[in-house]
A and B are shown apart, each in its own frame.
Chain A
Amino acid sequence: MTIPSRLTFALGIACLLLLQHTVRPLLGWRIEMDWQVIALVLMAWRVRPGLAALIGFGLGVIMDALVPATFGAGALALTLVGYAAARFRTGFFGASVAVGTVIVALGKYLVDVAVVVAEGRLRGVGLAAQLGLWSPLSAALTALVGAGLLGLARTEAPGPRRR
């Protein structure tokens, strides 16, 4: 990656994280877009799995700090998402938009499950509706937007490891 492209990438990531903390609460939709997961997968495409996990952990701690009842849950989920995104890219599929999109969707769903379970606020029908309806729809929306952004970023990402 050239220096200008690195700067562009960093600026894009900063924008996504900014959207996470401004546009998302501003919209206040039940089906919410998770810009943070997209940013994490984009970053995970460019770094080693350990660093991707560390970035995910950092983003998770930031997310959890704003919702103290789930402190640690978001960090655990995003650590796993970051690691998985980097591992899939290095090990098997390269910078595949399809795989990245699936990881974004699963990652968003995993984050929701972790936060909802750790929070322990929802029970019964409310829990079922959240995990069976709203979270999957949120994951789908995030994946939809993520697919576009991953497609844009794909050309810059390194390929899979050659054995």
Chain B
Amino acid sequence: MRGAGEETRTDRLLVWACVLVSIVLLTLSPARQERAASAVRETVVAPLAAWQVRARLVQRAVTSYDSLIRLADSTIRQAQALPAIEAENAQLRALLGLGAALQWGFVPAEAVPGRAMGDAHTVILSGGTRRGIAALSPVVAASGVVGLIAAVEETTSLAIVWPHPDLRVSATGRDGVGFGIVSARPEDGSDVFLLELRGVPFRDSLAVGTEIVSSGAGGVFPRGIPIGRVVGEVVQGGAWSRTYLVQPAVRPADLSAVMVLTAPRVAAGVDSLWPAP
């Protein structure tokens, strides 16, 4: 009887068979090699292949961890620098500066622009009678006139803003020349939103670029709050007054935070809080 370590003819046959089959496998065309490999992979090697794939994935995850973290950091950084957020930050910084200048007599509020049909000319403010907001209080931002409180509830209020047809502000040039009434320009199908300064005496001429501010007449808006800049004159034949097109200083749709001036503050005035640029 032959022992476990003894080489027999069967052993030699097995060795040669294995060598021959290996050489045959090596000489197969790539397509046939792939078919044979695939057959092995899908049967006996399937669990091993799955482990190997999983191990490779884990190894790749470990080695790419640092680069993934860097990618996530840069993505977060880019998200923080989105223009809309930057604009909102700029608004808030400007509003903080305005608040510091006003010192008293104002109520800060968040503005939520109306999105539904017919709501385009109004904003809902996150403040109401509880915080001292009253009807017909002026709503302002760091860049100028926003609108007017139309209705007040306990915790919220509704403001009409440009281009609401009922919003009118007595206005004049920064230097006090050319009194008139600013209102929204009737829609003419144009995408450009402009205001109109009507009723300016014919003798007063305003140059393009002149800053228009509230005049204080009427007692609703105190004098000196920016409204916009003259971009041109509307030519009207036979009229006894001039009408100017004004680019508004504030686009209410872009606002997220505003201030509501209280009656005592309106009475005290805000002169020199919005200095000429």
Q: Measuring CB to CB, which residues of chain A are less than 8 angstroms from any residue of chain B?
A: 17-18, 21-28, 46-51, 53-54, 56-57, 60-62, 64-66, 68-69, 71-73, 75-76, 79-80, 83, 86-87, 89-91, 118, 158-161
Contact = CB atoms under 8 A, between A and B. Distances in A.
B22 A60 contact: yes
B49 interface: yes
A58 to B, nearest CB: 9
Nearest to B50: A21
A67 to B, nearest CB: 8
A21 B55 contact: yes
Contacts of B10: 50
14 contacts: A48-B4, A48-B7, A48-B11, A53-B18, A57-B22, A62-B48, A66-B37, A66-B52, A68-B38, A72-B33, A73-B26, A75-B18, A90-B5, A161-B6
Interface string B41-69: 10011001101101110110001000000
Nearest to B49: A66
Contacts of B30: 69
B36 interface: yes
Contacts of A17: 48
Contacts of A47: 4
Given A47-B4, A89-B5, A75 B11 contact: no
Interface string B4-29: 11111011111100110111111110
Interface centre among A50, A69, A75, A86 (most CB of B within 10 A): A50
A73 B11 CA distance: 21
B85 interface: no
A56 B11 CA distance: 13
A95 B247 CA distance: 97
Contacts of B15: 49-50, 53, 79, 83
Nearest to A162: B3
Contacts of A46: 4
A56 to B, nearest CB: 7
Nearest to B63: A28
B34 interface: yes
A49 B11 contact: yes
B40 interface: yes
Nearest to A71: B33
Contacts of A57: 18, 21-22
Given A23-B55, A27-B59, A50-B14, A68 B19 contact: no
Given A24-B55, A66-B49, A72-B23, 11 more contacts: A18-B51, A22-B55, A26-B59, A48-B7, A50-B13, A54-B14, A57-B21, A65-B40, A69-B33, A71-B28, A87-B7
B55 A25 contact: yes
A26 B22 contact: no
A86 B58 CA distance: 37
Given A23-B55, A75-B18, A68 B26 contact: no
Give the 3 A-B residue pairs with the shortest CB-CB distance, closest first: A50-B11, A72-B25, A72-B26
